[in-house]
C-alpha cells in the first residue's frame, strides 16, 4: 500500500483537527469521517475533473461560496437530491449519498469545514495521491478510537503482509465479502499496479478489467459502505462492493473468485439469527458469523483459488458446528498455513486472532495433507496505542512462509523451541480437528501487565469480557432447540 508521506500526514492532521469543530455540534468520531466524506467527495471531484458526474448546482464551488443558513440549507438539499434516484443517475454518486444526512446544525461549522478544505494543499495531495490521503484519514480515525470505526479497520501492516504473500495477479477476480473500508482490495490493487507500471504494461482490455471488474465484495454497514466506495474511487477502482449481507442470498451473487482476502466480523448475528443462504449446509444452523463466513469463502473460491482470512481463536477450537466446518474445510481445501496473531492488534486486546491460508482443491476430499502453524503470539508484546503494529513484526513469518502463495515453498520445522511447525493431517485428526495448536509458553498475561495507556487497559478488559460472552453465546447456540434449552440474553457490547 502507498506510503504516507510527511506532506500527506500534515494534510490528514489538518482534516482531523476539524473534528474538534464538529464535536461542538454533537458530531462524534465515527460520524465525523462520514460527514467529511460527503464534502471531500465533492471537492475531490472538482480537483480531478470529475464534476461532470454531478448536477451543476451541486458542484463544490456552488456550495463553498455560499454563506450562513443559505449554505447549510443548500447542503441539506444537496444530500437529499444526490441520494435520490429520481434526481441522480450516477450509480457511484447514488451509492455514496443514499440516505445521507448531516448532523450539522450550525451554519458557522459548515463554513469552517468548506473553508478549511479549500485551504488544503491540493496540489501536493494530487501529486501524492488522493487515495493515500483518504486512506490516511481512515487510519487516523481507527487509531483514535479502537471501538467504533476501528472494528472495520484491519491494521495496514497485516493487510500488506497478507497481500505480499498471496501475490494477486492481473486478470484475477479478487473478493472481500466483508469489505469494511476496502483495505484488502485497495492493497491488492496497489500490489498489481506496482508490478504493471500502474497498469500501463497491460493491454487496454486488461487494464479496463482491473479498474472495473477485478474487485468484488460486500459491506453490510451503510456508513462504512460509503467510506468503502469513496476509498475505491480515489484509488481508481469503480464500484464493485455492494451494500448487502453476505450471509443472505445476496451473498451468492458475489460470484466465484480466484482470490479471497478478508477479515469477517466477529461475534453472532443479532437476535440469534441464522444465515439465510440456500447453498449453506455446514453452518446453516449457527448464528456464529465467523463460521458462516468461512463457509462462504470456501464456496466462493474457484477450483485452485486461494484465500487468506482473519478469524478469532474459536473458529479453530469450537466443537460441533466448528469441528464440522474445519473437517469440511480441510477436505475441500489445502489448509496449508495458520498464523497465530499477536494480541491487541484489533479494537479488543482480549480477542485472539489468526490468519488461515488455504487453497480450494479440484476434488472434494483429502486436500489438506499437513498444516504449518506460525506462532507470532507467544513471547510477544501486547500491541496497542503505545506499541503500534509495524511491518517489521511480520518479516520472519514472510521469510519462513516462502515465495509460493499456496504454501508450496520448501519449509523447515523449527521444533518445540521455534515459531514454525508442521502438523500432519493425521496429527490434527488425533486432536479431533482442533487447530488451536500452541507449544510455546503463553505470555499474553505478562504482556498485558506492561500496558500503561488507560485506553489499552480498558480495551484489554473489554476484549476479555467479549470473549467470555462469545463463549456463552456459542453454548446457547448449540443448546438452542434441545430439551432444557438455555436462554441467554446479552447486552449489546459498548462501542
Q: What cell was used for 25?
A: 455540534
Query: Do both 126 and 149 map to the same domain?
Result: no
Q: What is the mean pLDDT of the chain?
A: 86
Q: Is residue 317 part of a domain?
A: yes
Last residue within a domain, chosen from 89, 106, 135: 135
Q: Is residue 492 part of a domain?
A: no
Query: Do both 115 and 207 map to the same domain?
Result: no
What is the helix (H) or strand (E) element at residue 141, kind and residue range? Answer: helix 130-144
Position 335 scores a pLDDT of 98
Query: Do both 395 and 424 map to the same domain?
Result: yes
Position 451 scores a pLDDT of 59
Query: Do both 390 and 409 map to the same domain?
Result: yes
Mean pLDDT of 175-201: 95
Mean pLDDT of 125-147: 77
Instruction: Name the more confident of 297 and 234.
Output: 297
Q: How many domains does the chain have?
A: 2
Mean pLDDT of 419-428: 98
Q: Could you list the residue range(s) of the whole structural domain that residue 152 is in?
A: 145-449
Q: What cell was used for 147?
A: 471501538
Q: Is residue 60 part of a domain?
A: yes
Say what the pTM is.
0.85
The CATH number of the domain holding residue 217 is 3.40.50.150
Q: Phi and psi for 323 in degrees, rounded to 5?
A: -65, -45
d(CA 377, CA 312): 13
Measured between alpha carbons, how far is residue 180 from residues 5, 8, 134, 142, 219 in Å?
24, 22, 14, 12, 6
Position 164 scores a pLDDT of 98
Q: What cell was used for 89?
A: 443517475
Position 194 scores a pLDDT of 96
| Residue 147: band (very low, low, confident or very high) from pLDDT cuts 50, 70, 90 | very low
Give yes or no for residue 108 having a pLDDT over 70: yes
Position 494 scores a pLDDT of 35
Query: Do both 408 and 299 map to the same domain?
Result: yes
Position 479 scores a pLDDT of 57
Q: Is residue 217 part of a domain?
A: yes
Last residue within a domain, chosen from 108, 135, 162: 135
Measured between alpha carbons, how far is residue 321 from residues 22, 251, 282, 344, 477 in Å?
46, 20, 7, 27, 10
Query: Do both 257 and 220 map to the same domain?
Result: yes
Q: Which residues contact 160 (CB under 8 A, 6 or more apart)?
A: 1, 187, 391
Q: Is residue 481 part of a domain?
A: no
What is the helix (H) or strand (E) element at residue 299, kind and residue range? Answer: helix 289-300
Query: Do both 381 and 289 map to the same domain?
Result: yes
Q: Is residue 193 part of a domain?
A: yes
Query: Do both 217 and 247 map to the same domain?
Result: yes
Q: Is residue 153 part of a domain?
A: yes
Residues 345, 346, 349, 350: is their CA dihedral positive or negative?
Answer: negative
- CA-only gyration radius of the chain, Å: 23
Q: Is residue 473 part of a domain?
A: no
Query: Do both 193 and 329 map to the same domain?
Result: yes
Amino acid at each position: 500500500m502507498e506510503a504516507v508521506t510527511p506532506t500527506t500526514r500534515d494534510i490528514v492532521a489538518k482534516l482531523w483537527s476539524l473534528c474538534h469543530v464538529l464535536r461542538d455540534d454533537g458530531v462524534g468520531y465515527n460520524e465525523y469521517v462520514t460527514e467529511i466524506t460527503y464534502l471531500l467527495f465533492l471537492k475531490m471531484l472538482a480537483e480531478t475533473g470529475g464534476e461532470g458526474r454531478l448536477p451543476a448546482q451541486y458542484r463544490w464551488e456552488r456550495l463553498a461560496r455560499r454563506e450562513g443558513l443559505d449554505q447549510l440549507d443548500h447542503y441539506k438539499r444537496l444530500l437529499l437530491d444526490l441520494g435520490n434516484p429520481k434526481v441522480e443517475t450516477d450509480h457511484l454518486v447514488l451509492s455514496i449519498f443514499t440516505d445521507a444526512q448531516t448532523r450539522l446544525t450550525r451554519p458557522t461549522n459548515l463554513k469552517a469545514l468548506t473553508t478549511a478544505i479549500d485551504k488544503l494543499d491540493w496540489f501536493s495531495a494530487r501529486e501524492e495521491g488522493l487515495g493515500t490521503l483518504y486512506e490516511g484519514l481512515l487510519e487516523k480515525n481507527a487509531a483514535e478510537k479502537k471501538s467504533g470505526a476501528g472494528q472495520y479497520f484491519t491494521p495496514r501492516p497485516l493487510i500488506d503482509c497478507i497481500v505480499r504473500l498471496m501475490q494477486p495477479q492481473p486478470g484475477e477476480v479478487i473478493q472481500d465479502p466483508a469489505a469494511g473500508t476496502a483495505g484488502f482490495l485497495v492493497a491488492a490493487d496497489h500490489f498489481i499496479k506496482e508490478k504493471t507500471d500502474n497498469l500501463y504494461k497491460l493491454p487496454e482490455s486488461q487494464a479496463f478489467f482491473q479498474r472495473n471488474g477485478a474487485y468484488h465484495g460486500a459491506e453490510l454497514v451503510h456508513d462504512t459502505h460509503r467510506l468503502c466506495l469513496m476509498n475505491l474511487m480515489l484509488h481508481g477502482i469503480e464500484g464493485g462492493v455492494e451494500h448487502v449481507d453476505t450471509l443472505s442470498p445476496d451473498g451468492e451473487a458475489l460470484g466465484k473468485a480466484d482470490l479471497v482476502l478478508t477479515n469477517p466480523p466477529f461475534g453472532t448475528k443479532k437476535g440469534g439469527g441464522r444465515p439465510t443462504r440456500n447453498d449453506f449446509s455446514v453452518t446453516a444452523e449457527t448464528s456464529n458469523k465467523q463460521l458462516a463466513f468461512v463457509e462462504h469463502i470456501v464456496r466462493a473460491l474457484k477450483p485452485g483459488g486461494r484465500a487468506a482470512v482473519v478469524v478469532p481463536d474459536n473458529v479453530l477450537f469450537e466443537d460441533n458446528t466448528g469441528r464440522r466446518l474445519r473437517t469440511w474445510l480441510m477436505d475441500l481445501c489445502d489448509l496449508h498455513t495458520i498464523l497465530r496473531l499477536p494480541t491487541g492488534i484489533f479494537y479488543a486486546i482480549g480477542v485472539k486472532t489468526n490468519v488461515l491460508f488455504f487453497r480450494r482443491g479440484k476434488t472434494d476430499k483429502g486436500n489438506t495433507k499437513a498444516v504449518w502453524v506460525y506462532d507470532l503470539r507467544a513471547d510477544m508484546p501486547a500491541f496497542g496505542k503505545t506499541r503500534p503494529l509495524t511491518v517489521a513484526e511480520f518479516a520472519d513469518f514472510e521469510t519462513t512462509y516462502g515465495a509460493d502463495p499456496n504454501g508450496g515453498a520448501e519449509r523447515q520445522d523449527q521444533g518445540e523451541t521455534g515459531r514454525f511447525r508442521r502438523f500432519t493431517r493425521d496429527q490434527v485428526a488425533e486432536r479431533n480437528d482442533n487447530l488451536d495448536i500452541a507449544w510455546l509458553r503463553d505470555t499474553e498475561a505478562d504482556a498485558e501487565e506492561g500496558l500503561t495507556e488507560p485506553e489499552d487497559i480498558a480495551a484489554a478488559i473489554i476484549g476479555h469480557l467479549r470473549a467470555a460472552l462469545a463463549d456463552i453465546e456459542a453454548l446457547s447456540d448449540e443448546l438452542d432447540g434441545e430439551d432444557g434449552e438455555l436462554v441467554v440474553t446479552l447486552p449489546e457490547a459498548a462501542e
